[in-house]
Chains A and B, each alone.
Chain A
Amino acid sequence: MIRGGRNLVILGVVSILIAMMTTGISLAIYKLSGDIYLDRSVPGFLPDKQEIEEQPEEELDYEFSKSGPVTKEIISEFMDKFEIEVRALDSYSAPFDVDALSDEKLGIFE
């Protein structure tokens, strides 16, 4: 009975160690693969509502059909929808501008 209890404890400890090891490996892969930088479910990944300066435009639920005739009208429709995306892109001011990491912007002064 005592031996059985000891085995149970060993089993529990080994199980915990295996779980910790596999979790550690998973987290390492998660970080090294770069998925962590794209995971929108990470707390604090996206700014809070009040922190959003530019409200992105509503997603366009449109997909150009892969099949069908190609006419001037079809191309015009394509362009109309496409321009909505282009405008949305241009409405975002200075994405990844280099200046954001300048000494001045970060508060490093000589």
Chain B
Amino acid sequence: MSAIESGQKASIVDHCDEIRENLKNVQKKDRQTRVYLGRIYETVLNKFETPLNLRLVENNMSDANLLENQGKFAEERKAFMDNYVSYQQLLEETIAIDCKNEPEKFYDSLKLTRSGRKLLSRNVTKLRELITEQVKIVLHIKEIL
């Protein structure tokens, strides 16, 4: 599995402490990001989209697109939260590896962590797209009132 170049290997061994420190800084920033985004996603879903859908239903004006958007948003948010936990586990495992003595193992683990981060990044992009879609649907509802 390991496709590490000899130069990379030497670099990992030589700068092991510095690389791990950089990973710890990324981890710290990620926690901040997770808290920040998590709050906004929760607000969007529970304080805006869900009550709006309920209110539309109460007024016999339910919108299938908005209901579908709510379902997709809830699903994607759940995936974001699950992927965050998996990613953090991978990141922690990578940080725990002694890169001075096991550079290949460290680099393999780093590659897995990158894949986990990619999934998380996709979740964030998808959630933002769903918010854009939600805005369009709500503006359309406003137009036809």
Contact = CB atoms under 8 A, between A and B. Distances in A.
B131 A101 contact: no
Contacts of B30: 96
Given A75-B141, A89-B128, A96-B121, A65 B40 contact: no
Interface in A74-100: 75-76, 78-79, 81-82, 85-86, 88-89, 92, 95-98, 100
A106 B138 contact: no
B5 to A, nearest CB: 5
**Chain B interface secondary structure, helix, strand, loop or mixed?**
helix
Given A71-B145, A72-B142, A107-B19, A96 B32 contact: no
Interface in A38-77: 38, 40, 44-47, 51-52, 56, 59-60, 62-72, 75-76
B89 A34 contact: yes
A98 B47 contact: no
B117 A101 contact: yes
Interface residues of A, number: 48
Interface residues of B, number: 57
A95 B22 CA distance: 17
Contacts of A51: 28
A98 B118 contact: yes
A101 B113 contact: yes
Interface of A: 34, 37-38, 40, 44-47, 51-52, 56, 59-60, 62-72, 75-76, 78-79, 81-82, 85-86, 88-89, 92, 95-98, 100-101, 103, 105-110
